[in-house]
């Protein structure tokens, strides 16, 4: 049903996803908390993250293909969303909206 290459690639990407710079501040806390569960805690955390990313990616892909959706379309949609989020983060487009809302809430208190 699933190709072995896709599953192994998803497992590798899931394993490497913990190395994302946005996760670095939390990695020490999460690994510390998982190590309190025993010697194998951090290993179980890494395996759990890897398997969950691999399983979620494969199940979503299988669901979309079985429903008759074109996977290429979703790749383009994902790319557009990634670019949109990058632009928001790069130019801090959301800051002005949230800061203004916070000012209004503080004003009425």
Could you tell me the pLDDT band of residue 94, with boundaries at 50, 70 and 90? low
Q: What is the pTM of this model?
A: 0.46
pLDDT value for 53: 76
Asked if residue 92 has pLDDT above 80, the reply is no
| Better pLDDT: 7 or 99 | 7
CA distance 63 to 52: 16
DSSP per-residue letters across 22-70? GGHHHHHHHHHHHHTT-TTHHHHHHHHHHHHHHHHHHHHHHHHHHTT--
pLDDT value for 106: 61
pLDDT value for 30: 78
CA distance 20 to 37: 24
**Domain locations in the chain as residue ranges:** 1-69, 70-109
């Amino acid at each position: 049903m699933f190709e072995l290459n896709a599953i192994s690639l998803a497992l590798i990407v899931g394993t490497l996803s913990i190395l994302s710079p946005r996760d670095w501040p939390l990695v020490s806390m999460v690994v510390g908390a998982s190590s309190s569960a025993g010697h194998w805690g951090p290993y179980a955390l890494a395996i759990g993250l890897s398997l969950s990313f691999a399983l979620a990616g494969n199940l979503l892909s299988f669901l979309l293909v079985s429903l008759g959706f074109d996977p290429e379309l979703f790749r383009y949609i994902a790319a557009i969303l990634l670019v949109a989020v990058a632009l928001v983060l790069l130019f801090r487009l959301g800051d002005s909206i949230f800061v203004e809302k916070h000012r209004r809430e503080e004003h009425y208190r």
